């Protein structure tokens, strides 16, 4: 399954790290138009995740519940990815920003519809394959290694391809890499056949019981705030390099590589902490560590200090990448034990719904900061682009992570590990 995470991450991180810069700074689409397009598609993306979850839980097919939807959505995912980065040259030459914004909007609808199917089913199958904190922490460790390897590839090769081959050339190569890796994942994935023999869950009852769980809400709202940090960092590193550090694309690539490379090795440390402290304590601690490690980004002004600050940020990021998955498995275990139904898809999709709000929150924060400091686009950066992206890359994420920790204190229960498979 690590191949699946590797493929999904390469595609999604390349997408997140490039498309804002491509449309806003390169093509000149204003932040306002960009934010409107992004907000509308994210609302759709957030609301369709629960639908994917219930469909996945109710699916009965020869190839399994989750594999069926992953296989069905993969071609659409590839098409949407290439579509976004391939606006017609005539649209670009016309200088009509509204037309480009509409192209972006429709591309986002296609891409995120398929991406939602991919992620909900991929994340849902994990608690079925791995059981117990120790096994799940190991599984999450390898999954995060695949994720970080994907981040490294996308932040180095992906951005390099963008600068050297253009957006369309980059998208075609990344799409081919994704196709190969997700195919390996689907072919090697083994679902538990016994789960397909159980009665189909009831739609309304399942959502009502899940939504009435207050600790579940605390868990997901905390993750919403932390995911907003990840969305902000992924989308603004190129802006941070250009306006705050005054470095070029190749140097940004090096900085991002330094930030993410250590995470591969640090996840084993966090896996140890999960086994030592328990999933919930390690998860809560990760918010505070992440916040502290983002502080140097506020003060970096050169390529060297930027690299050092990025390395520190990577240390903090490692904890948050591994701990939520183990906690979500604990929540699913408790739900099965309490209600006697297997609805991993519903729980994962509701969590995904809440998490998907994070890019909307990030977009609104970026827009508000732009209005405050005068940044509109690459054509009109305003008088304080340095301050704009320095605050967005460090000060704002720190406040969000502190808020995430405070909310996490309301996640009561889930202290005792369920060690036997359910």
Q: Is the CB of residue 141 less than 8 Å from the CB of residue 268?
A: yes
pLDDT: is 85 or 92 the higher one?
85
CA distance 101 to 361: 20
Q: What is the percent of the chain with per-residue pLDDT over 70, rounded to a whole number?
A: 87
The contacts of residue 316 (CB under 8 Å, 6+ apart) are 289, 290, 291, 292, 293, 294
Cα gap 326→140, rounded to integer Å: 7
Residue 82: pLDDT above 90? yes
Q: How long, in residues, is the chain?
A: 422
- For the question of whether the overall pTM of this predicted structure is more than 0.75, the answer is no
Residue 416 pLDDT level (bands cut at 50, 70, 90)? low
Torsion of CA 211, 213, 215, 216, to 10 degrees: -40
For residue 292, the model assigns a pLDDT of 94
Condensed to tens digits (0 to 9), the pLDDT of residues 261-287 reads 677 777 788 888 888 888 889 999 999
Degrees to nearest 5, angle at CA 203 with 201 and 206: 75
Residue 123's pLDDT band (boundaries 50, 70, 90)? confident
Q: pLDDT (tens digit, 9 = 90+) per residue, 157-191?
A: 877 888 888 889 999 999 999 999 999 888 877 77
Which alpha helices (DSSP H) does 85-158 contain, by range?
89-94, 97-129, 133-153
Q: Phi-psi category of 416—alpha, beta or left, where left has phi over 0 and alpha has psi -120 to 50?
A: beta
- Superfamily the domain 2-189+200-408 falls into: MFS general substrate transporter like domains (1.20.1250.20)
Domain boundaries, the chain: 2-189+200-408
Which residues are within 8 A (CB) of 197 and not within 5 positions of it... i.e. 6 or more apart?
A: none
Under DSSP, the state recorded for 195 is G
């Amino acid at each position: 399954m690590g191949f699946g995470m590797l493929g999904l991450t390469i595609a999604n991180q390349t997408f997140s790290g490039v498309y804002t810069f491509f449309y806003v700074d390169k093509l000149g689409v204003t932040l306002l138009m960009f934010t409107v397009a992004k907000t509308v598609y994210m609302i759709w993306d957030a609301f369709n995740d629960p639908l994917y979850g219930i469909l996945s839980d109710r699916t009965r097919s020869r190839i399994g519940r989750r594999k069926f939807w992953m296989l069905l959505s993969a071609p659409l995912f590839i098409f949407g990815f290439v579509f976004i980065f391939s606006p017609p040259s005539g649209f670009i030459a016309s200088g009509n920003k509204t037309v480009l914004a509409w192209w972006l909007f429709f591309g986002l609808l296609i891409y995120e519809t398929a991406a939602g199917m991919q992620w909900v089913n991929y994340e849902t199958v994990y608690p079925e394959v791995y059981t117990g904190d120790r096994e799940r922490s190991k599984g999450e460790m390898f999954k995060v290694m695949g994720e970080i390897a994907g981040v490294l590839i996308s932040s180095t090769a992906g951005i390099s391809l963008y600068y050297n081959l253009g957006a369309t050339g980059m998208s075609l190569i990344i799409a081919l890499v994704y196709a190969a890796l997700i195919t390996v994942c689907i072919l090697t994935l083994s679902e538990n056949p016994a789960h397909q023999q159980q009665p189909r869950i009831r739609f309304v009852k399942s959502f009502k019981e899940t939504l009435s769980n207050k600790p579940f809400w605390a868990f997901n709202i905390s993750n919403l705030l932390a995911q907003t940090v990840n969305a902000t960092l992924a989308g603004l590193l190129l802006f941070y390099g250009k306006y705050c550090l005054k470095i070029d694309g190749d140097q940004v690539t090096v900085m991002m590589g330094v930030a993410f490379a250590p995470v591969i090795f640090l996840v084993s440390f966090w896996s140890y902490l999960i086994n030592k402290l328990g999933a919930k304590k390690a998860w809560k601690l990760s918010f505070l560590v992440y916040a502290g490690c983002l502080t140097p980004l506020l003060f970096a002004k050169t390529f060297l200090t930027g690299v050092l600050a990025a390395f520190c940020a990577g240390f903090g990021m490692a904890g948050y990448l591994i701990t939520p998955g183990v906690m979500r498995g604990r929540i699913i275990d408790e739900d099965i034990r309490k209600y006697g139904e297997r609805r991993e898809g519903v729980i994962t999709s509701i969590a995904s719904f809440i998490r998907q709000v994070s890019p909307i929150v990030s977009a609104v924060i970026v827009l508000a900061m732009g209005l405050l400091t005068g940044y509109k686009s690459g054509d009109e950066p305003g008088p304080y682009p340095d301050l704009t992206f320095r605050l967005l890359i460090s000060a704002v994420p720190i406040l969000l992570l502190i808020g995430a920790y405070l909310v996490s204190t309301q996640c009561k229960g889930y202290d005792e590990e369920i060690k036997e498979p359910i």
